[in-house]
């Protein structure tokens, strides 16, 4: 009886671990979408309204980024500091792209800044599309692998 209870606990822990991995991937995808939205907003505000970056950051609203504390840092310390605050949640190539974007935006003519926003947005979209294409397979693997590992450990122990 005690072995069955232990086995149930191991399976429950493995299932929760797999679920956590799935949620992490979904959060990463949502973060990419939010960053894509932010860059699009910056580009549109520069192109149509010719607003300075400080004003753009003050006016920007996104509930997902507000929950992460990103917008608070964005308004207080700027884009580069905000991007650095979410570095652990971003793929390395996207972090490099966003940090380069944050260091470059704000300098130059409005047309150059708008083109920079478009190019960065396209790059983020390509990565996001790739992640969306891989998402079903990854979710399946992340749900099943911990359970299979738990089953193999239990077979060895029992």
Tokens of 109: 């003519």
Mean pLDDT on 82-94: 89
At residue 129's C-alpha, the angle toward residues 127 and 132, to 5°, is 110
**Whole-number average pLDDT of the chain:** 88
Each residue of 14-25: pLDDT tens digit? Answer: 888 989 988 999
Query: Residue 92 above 90 pLDDT?
Result: no
Closest CA to 128 of 154, 86, 90, 102: 90
d(CA 122, CA 127): 9
Each residue of 110-155: pLDDT tens digit? Answer: 888 899 999 999 999 999 999 889 989 988 988 888 888 888 888 8
Mean pLDDT on 27-39: 92
CA-to-CA separations, 51 to 25, 56, 59, 94, 98, in angstroms, rounded: 34, 6, 10, 26, 20
What does the pLDDT read at residue 126?
A: 93
What does the pLDDT read at residue 83?
A: 92
Mean pLDDT on 83-101: 90
Mean pLDDT on 48-63: 88
């Amino acid at each position: 009886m005690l072995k069955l209870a232990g086995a149930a606990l191991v399976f429950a822990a493995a299932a929760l671990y797999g679920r956590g991995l799935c949620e992490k991937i979904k959060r990463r995808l949502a973060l990419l979408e939010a960053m894509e939205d932010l860059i699009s907003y910056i580009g549109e505000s520069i192109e149509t309204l010719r607003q300075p970056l400080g004003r753009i950051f003050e006016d920007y609203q996104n509930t997902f980024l507000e929950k992460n504390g990103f917008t608070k840092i964005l308004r207080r310390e700027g884009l580069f500091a905000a991007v650095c605050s979410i570095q652990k949640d971003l793929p390395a190539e996207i972090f490099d792209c966003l940090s380069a974007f944050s260091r470059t935006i704000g300098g130059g003519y409005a047309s150059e800044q708008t083109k920079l926003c478009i190019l960065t947005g396209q790059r983020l979209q390509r990565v996001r599309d790739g992640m969306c294409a891989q998402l079903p397979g990854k979710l399946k693997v992340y749900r099943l692998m911990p359970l299979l590992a738990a089953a193999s450990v239990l077979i060895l122990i029992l």
